[in-house]
């Protein structure tokens, strides 16, 4: 593990950003092609990239129910319990439309409305996670989105992993298309003969998916441009080094570009964590990935004070932050930037990945500076409500017209003043 200081953070962050210009050019072409040629372009790229020749994109209801039947009851129960927890947490986020009235009769407010149509991307291969299906679908359902379309690339035998389909069945998702990559994102953004266009696309994916989401952003909304995952564990001498190390590795095993950093006030703990990481890495099934990740993007920062440690955390703005200190609530107030904050020794990060209820779709790569976990608000939008009363108009019309003229917009001024003709009758 690398020893870092707070001064290294900026450089360390920059190191994680690769050059994506080549992929970007190819994504631009794919998106344009699907926009123009619809299904036939989607078919062409599915053949090229997934090696599958698709006659029908849509997953049949039999495929979905067969997957459900073939997953063991033990897993079905766990998925169902997790889904209930996730639904309960997200139901607490549902906002209410509100308004405020004045004595003169004016009403101002905000009306919340759910989106009409949402598309959810579920990655294929080893990253085809039932948990991601839940984390993307449930907030949209809680928000009241009526039409949810899921896309996921077909595997080598034109199959979608049964865990993914069984989870869709549990959640009642019926519209699933076996398409992936930039072509799937373009199909959702612009619509094709068989895939309907949506208003927003969410869900993680590889670099082609991420760039395609950026390309279509504006035409539709997107959740975020997800980068590789990261964890920071903030701890003092009361933490158990084995637990710190295990939690760091749970992130490192995701991807060679994942990052796991321990920030601590205890030099002694730091040394023990390093040893634990080494020994736990030895027999981890995904040890190659985790070792590469720890060697390149793993690190330990030892600070003099807890204030400095928290400042380092805020500089990192990590996706996942664990706080294992004597009293984690002492630090909560000064932590400004983190996607999810796990407090105390029993809040191991996988607790949040799968089960506790909060969303595991989180801002990566320091974007917790300005982004939030996926949530119900992401699937709703607001409309301002302005009901100006006759009395308010009488009192303020001249001021509003003056303001318009200050901005050289005579038509605006005249529109407000036009109401004066009512009193000429």
Residue 43 or 317 with smaller CB distance to a copy of itself: 317
Q: Tell me which of 215, 230, 243, 320 is the catalytic residue.
A: 320
In angstroms, give the least distance from the CB of 64 to a copy of itself. Answer: 18
In angstroms, give the least distance from the CB of 244 to a copy of itself. Answer: 9
The reply to whether 337 sits in an annotated binding site is no
Near a copy of itself by CB under 8 A: residue from 33, 59, 122, 221: 221
In angstroms, give the least distance from the CB of 53 to a copy of itself. Answer: 28
Q: How far is CA 375 from CA 85, 216, 339, in A?
A: 14, 21, 12
Residue 342, φ and ψ in degrees, nearest 5:
-105, 115
Residue 410 sits in the site that holds a copy of itself (CB under 8 A): yes
Active site residue 322: no
User: Site residues for a copy of itself, window 115-174 (CB under 8 A)?
Assistant: 115-116, 126, 129-131, 163
- Per-residue mark of binding to a copy of itself, 350-379 (x: CB under 8 A): xxxxxxxxxx--xx---xxxxxxx-x-x--
Q: Tell me which of 243, 319, 322, 349 is the catalytic residue.
A: 319
What is the per-residue burial (b if ≥16 Cβ within 10 Å, else e) of 245-275?
bbbbbbbbbbbbbbbbbbbbbbeebbebbbe
Residue 199 sits in the site that holds a copy of itself (CB under 8 A): yes
The reply to whether 37 sits in an annotated binding site is no
What 53-60 contacts at long range (C-beta under 8 Å, 24+ apart), as own/partner pairs, is 54/154, 54/158, 54/178, 54/179, 57/177, 57/178, 57/179, 57/194, 57/195, 58/175, 58/176, 58/177, 58/178, 58/194, 59/160, 59/165, 59/176, 59/177, 59/178
User: Site residues for a copy of itself, window 227-246 (CB under 8 A)?
Assistant: 240, 242-243, 246
Residue 5 sits in the site that holds a copy of itself (CB under 8 A): no
Residue 342 near residue 332 (C-beta atoms within 8 A): no
Distance CA 152, CA 175 (A): 11
State whether residue 117 is helix, strand or coil: strand
The reply to whether 229 sits in an annotated binding site is yes
* Residue 292 burial (10 A CB sphere; 0-12, 13-18, 19+): middle
Residue 306 or 380 with smaller CB distance to a copy of itself: 380
Active site residue 320: yes
Residue 406 sits in the site that holds a copy of itself (CB under 8 A): yes
User: Site residues for a copy of itself, window 265-304 (CB under 8 A)?
Assistant: 280, 284-286, 290
Which residues have CB under 8 Å from 247's CB, separation 6+?
A: 231, 233, 322, 348, 349
In angstroms, give the least distance from the CB of 328 to a copy of itself. Answer: 7
Residue 181 near residue 25 (C-beta atoms within 8 A): no
In angstroms, give the least distance from the CB of 261 to a copy of itself. Answer: 16
Residue 395 sits in the site that holds a copy of itself (CB under 8 A): no
Residues annotated within a binding site? 121, 183, 206, 229, 251, 254, 320, 353, 407, 412
Residues annotated within a binding site for substrate? 229, 251, 254, 320, 353, 407, 412
Catalytic residues, by residue number, are: 319-320
């Amino acid at each position: 593990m690398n020893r870092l200081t707070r001064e290294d953070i900026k450089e360390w962050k920059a190191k994680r950003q690769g050059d994506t210009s080549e992929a970007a050019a190819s994504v631009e072409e794919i998106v344009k092609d699907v926009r123009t040629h619809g299904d036939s372009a989607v078919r062409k790229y599915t053949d090229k990239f997934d090696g599958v020749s698709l006659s029908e994109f849509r997953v049949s209801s039999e495929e979905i129910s067969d997957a459900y039947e073939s997953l063991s009851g033990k897993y079905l129960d766990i998925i169902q319990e997790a889904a209930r927890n996730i639904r309960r947490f997200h139901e607490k986020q549902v906002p209410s439309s509100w308004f405020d009235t004045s004595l003169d009769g004016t009403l101002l407010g905000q009306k919340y409305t759910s989106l009409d149509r949402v598309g959810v991307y579920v990655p294929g291969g080893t990253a085809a996670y039932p948990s991601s299906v839940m984390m993307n679908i449930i907030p949209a359902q809680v928000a009241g989105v009526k039409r949810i379309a899921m896309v996921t690339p077909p595997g080598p035998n034109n199959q979608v992993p049964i865990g993914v389909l069984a989870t869709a069945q549990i959640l009642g998702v019926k519209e699933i298309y076996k398409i992936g990559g930039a072509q799937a994102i373009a199909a959702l953004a612009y619509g094709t003969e068989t895939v309907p266009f949506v208003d927003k696309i969410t869900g993680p994916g590889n670099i082609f998916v991420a760039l395609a989401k950026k390309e279509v952003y504006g035409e539709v909304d997107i959740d975020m441009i997800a980068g590789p995952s990261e964890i920071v564990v903030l701890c003092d001498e009361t933490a158990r080094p084995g637990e710190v190390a295990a939690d760091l590795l749970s992130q490192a095993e995701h991807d060679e570009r994942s990052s796991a950093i321990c920030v601590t006030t205890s030099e002694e703990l730091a040394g023990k964590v390093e040893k634990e990481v080494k020994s736990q890495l030895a027999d981890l099934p995904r040890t190659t990935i985790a070792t590469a990740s720890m060697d390149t993007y793993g690190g330990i920062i030892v600070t003099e004070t807890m204030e400095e440690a928290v400042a380092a955390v805020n500089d990192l703005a990590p996706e996942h932050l664990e706080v294992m200190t004597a009293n984690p609530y002492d630090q909560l107030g000064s932590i400004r930037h983190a996607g999810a904050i796990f407090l105390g020794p029993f809040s191991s990060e996988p607790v949040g990945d799968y089960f506790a209820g909060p969303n595991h779709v989180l801002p990566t790569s320091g974007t917790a500076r300005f982004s939030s976990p996926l949530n119900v608000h992401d699937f709703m939008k607001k409309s301002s409500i302005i009901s100006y009363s006759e009395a308010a108009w009488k009192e303020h019309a001249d001021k509003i017209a003056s303001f318009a003229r200050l901005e050289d917009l005579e038509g605006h001024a005249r529109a407000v003043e036009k109401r004066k003709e009512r009193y000429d009758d």
